[in-house]
Amino acid sequence: MTNSEVAIGDFIVIKPGEKIPLDGKISEGSTLLDTSAITGESLPREVTVGDAVYSGSINKNGLFTIEVTKLFGESTVSKILDLVQNASSKKAPTEKFITKFARYYTPTVVTIAFVLAIVPPLVIPGASFSDWIYRALAFLVVSCPCALVISIPLGYFGGIGAASKNGILVKGSNYLEALTKVNTVVFDKTGTLTKGVFSVTKVQSILDSISKDDLLKTAAYAEYYSNHPIAKSIVVAFGAQNVNPEEIKEFDEKPGKGIKVKVDGLTILAGNAKFLESENIQVITADEMGTIVHISINHKYTGYIVISDEVKHDSQEAIRRLKSVGIAKIAMLTGDIESVGKKIARDLGIDEVFSELLPSQKVEKLEAISDKSRHQGKIAFVGDGINDAPVLARADVGISMGALGSDAAIEAADIVIMTDHPSKVADAILIARKTNWIVWQNIIFAFTVKVAVLVMSAGGVATLWEAVFADMGVALIAIFNSIRVLNYKENNGKK
């Protein structure tokens, strides 16, 4: 049975590791859901009977049944795809100078050359047709738009090539041109500025007799047999090969709460604050960003471990570089909770943050930002998940992370960063600006030389030799000038 054949009120059994096909409500069972692809929230969400679940979420460990509440066409994933298609149609196309130029230039110069060859001999006494036809031919040679027709596209191809050398794939020269006008950059959080994976970010022991390493070892032994993502991150941090399973006895896991286990004769409790307090163990309040696992040994509180989504090593550098190249405003949109969003924005120096957003709400926030900065420049959005696809499509320039990004995000984006480094966004902007400057150098140089020689040709001063130089010579110089963009050096923008 396909998704389109399922009706509202039908029941679907979701096994561990499966993706939820349709929006619904849990009627039986409980589990942990990975909702990062839909909401961008990095930590798994605990759900039980009565909770609503979104299509596209992944079941981490439990077996549960959902009652379908929305048809396929109204499901979250379907709406995301619809948003991508509708958002794409709203993007204003970048008008190319060469298109406008060619529309009027060629018929104009041919007409002038024809008039130059025919009219003067008829109205000027003593003028010969051979002399004025020669001038008209020189005029036609000079007016050939080769320098512009060749060098301008080549300049953009050079820019695209320079970007690809630096791990940035640009899907068209119009997007490269649009980058030069970007004044606001909006980031997704999970998977873009952060790694999107769980890891131990802090180990805090409150007893002098127990070191941080000992506390991490105790927690790893307690969590060894658990399939919970948080438990696995603790075991990985300590090293699974360093755990001796034979020492673990009486393993008892309370879903959504914690674990009670005996290791080498010691009773260990590892879990949330409520779990330890239910065992009459007083825990300290930890003001930390992330999931906190409290630890006790023989009913004595010993400390806690913080599990969170790590910020990428160059995210702060990415924000700094964007500001250094003149980006006026940097914002962040995330489906994660407000406290986490504000903490990361504050640490990285981001100007504005919007948290707890669904995909459709991200599009609304982007449009609100766009309305505020409409007269200041274009907006670029940087994201990686399927939940970012509508925003990538709606932005003036959509930039996706290609290394870890979803297929939907890469498809919707205009530019794809093939590494996992957000600092590449600054490189893309610098390459675009250098490309644009070189293209306009070619335009100004070609026009200046051609206009000068055109006037000289019409006046009979320039010969075919000057005309050939103004055509092919200028074209070659413009081509060599276009190649300079390939010398862009990563992370500095210098030649």
pLDDT digits (tens, 9 = 90+) for 399-450: 988 755 566 677 778 888 877 789 999 999 999 999 889 888 888 888 888 7
CATH fold for domain 156-194+312-429 = Rossmann fold (3.40.50)
Query: Which pLDDT value is given to residue 77?
Result: 67
Which has more pLDDT, 79 or 231? Answer: 231
Instruction: Judge whether residue 72 has pLDDT over 70.
Output: yes
User: How is the beta sheet containing 397-401 ordered, strand by strand?
Assistant: 168-170, 415-417, 397-401, 378-383, 182-188, 329-333, 352-354
Which has the minimum average pLDDT: 182-186, 390-394, 407-411?
407-411
Residues 6+ apart with CB under 8 A from 444: none
- Amino acid 248 reads I
- How would you label 445-461 residue by residue, b for 16+ Cβ within 10 Å and e otherwise? bbeebbeebbebbbeee
Q: Which band of pLDDT confidence, cut at 50, 70 and 90, is reported for residue 94?
A: very low
Q: Residue 324: which of 398, 429, 189, 419 has the closest Cα?
A: 429
Query: Which pLDDT value is given to residue 87?
Result: 44
| Distance (Å, whole) CA 251 – CA 356 | 36
Which has the minimum average pLDDT: 53-62, 199-208, 428-437?
53-62
Q: Which band of pLDDT confidence, cut at 50, 70 and 90, is reported for residue 102?
A: low
Number of C-alpha atoms within 13 angstroms, CB side, residue 489?
3
Q: Which band of pLDDT confidence, cut at 50, 70 and 90, is reported for residue 121?
A: confident
Instruction: Judge whether residue 186 has pLDDT over 90.
Output: yes
Class of domain 197-310: alpha beta
Contact 202, 306 (CB under 8 A): yes
- How would you label 379-395 residue by residue, b for 16+ Cβ within 10 Å and e otherwise? bbbbbbbbbbbbbbbbb
Q: Which two tokens stand for residue 418?
A: 């093939």
3-state secondary structure of 33: strand
pTM for the model? 0.68
Quickly tell me which residue has 């300079």 as its tokens. Answer: 484
Which has more pLDDT, 262 or 256? Answer: 262
Instruction: Judge whether residue 163 has pLDDT over 70.
Output: yes
| Distance (Å, whole) CA 144 – CA 109 | 9
Query: Which pLDDT value is given to residue 90?
Result: 39
Query: Which pLDDT value is given to residue 444?
Result: 86
Q: Which band of pLDDT confidence, cut at 50, 70 and 90, is reported for residue 96?
A: low
The bridge status of strand 397-401 relative to strand 415-417 is parallel
| Distance (Å, whole) CA 38 – CA 356 | 11
Query: Which pLDDT value is given to residue 35?
Result: 76
Contact 435, 159 (CB under 8 A): yes
Instruction: Judge whether residue 82 has pLDDT over 70.
Output: no
Q: Which band of pLDDT confidence, cut at 50, 70 and 90, is reported for residue 492?
A: very low
Q: Which two tokens stand for residue 488?
A: 């862009």
| Distance (Å, whole) CA 332 – CA 194 | 12
Which contiguous run of DSSP H or E holds residue 220?
Answer: helix 212-223
Query: Which pLDDT value is given to residue 431?
Result: 92
| Distance (Å, whole) CA 314 – CA 493 | 17
- Would you tell me how many other CB atoms lie within 10 Å of the CB of residue 50? 8
Q: Which band of pLDDT confidence, cut at 50, 70 and 90, is reported for residue 97?
A: low
Q: Which band of pLDDT confidence, cut at 50, 70 and 90, is reported for residue 320?
A: very high
3-state secondary structure of 81: helix
Which has the minimum average pLDDT: 92-96, 104-108, 162-166, 197-201?
92-96
Residues in the chain: 495
CATH number 2.70.150.10 given to 3-74: yes
Contact 27, 11 (CB under 8 A): yes
Query: Which pLDDT value is given to residue 394?
Result: 86
DSSP string computed for 404-462: T--HHHHHH-SEEESSS-TTHHHHHHHHHHHHHHHHHHHHHHHHHHHHHHHHHHHTT-S
Q: Is the dihedral of CA 418, 424, 427, 431 positive or negative?
A: positive
| Distance (Å, whole) CA 437 – CA 481 | 11
Residues with active-site annotation: 188
Contact 362, 376 (CB under 8 A): no
Q: If you average pLDDT over residues 313-318, what whole number do you get?
A: 91
Q: Which two tokens stand for residue 379?
A: 């907006």
Contact 417, 431 (CB under 8 A): no
Q: Residue 139: which of 105, 101, 104, 110 has the closest Cα?
A: 110
Q: Residue 22: which of 31, 12, 35, 37 has the closest Cα?
A: 12
Q: How far apart are the first and last CA of the chain?
A: 59
Q: Residue 235: which of 45, 248, 313, 208 has the closest Cα?
A: 248
Quickly tell me which residue has 């949330």 as its tokens. Answer: 272
In angstroms and rounded to an integer, the radius of gyration of the C-alpha atoms of the chain is: 32
Q: If you average pLDDT over residues 445-466, what whole number do you get?
A: 78
Which contiguous run of DSSP H or E holds residue 188?
Answer: strand 182-188
Residues 6+ apart with CB under 8 A from 51: 25, 26
Query: Which pLDDT value is given to residue 88?
Result: 45
| Distance (Å, whole) CA 22 – CA 390 | 19
For all residues of the chain together, what is the average pLDDT? 82
Instruction: Judge whether residue 58 has pLDDT over 80.
Output: yes
What are the residue ranges spanned by the domains of the chain?
Answer: 3-74, 97-146+441-487, 156-194+312-429, 197-310
| Distance (Å, whole) CA 439 – CA 233 | 51
Q: If you average pLDDT over residues 69-77, what whole number do you get?
A: 77
Does this chain's domain 3-74 share its CATH topology with 156-194+312-429? no
- Which residues is 285 bridged to in the sheet? none
Quickly tell me which residue has 């069972």 as its tokens. Answer: 29
- Amino acid 439 reads V
Query: Which pLDDT value is given to residue 151?
Result: 74
Query: Which pLDDT value is given to residue 86?
Result: 52
| Full 3-state SS string of 342-376 | HHHHHHHCCCEEECCCCHHHHHHHHHHHHHHCCCC
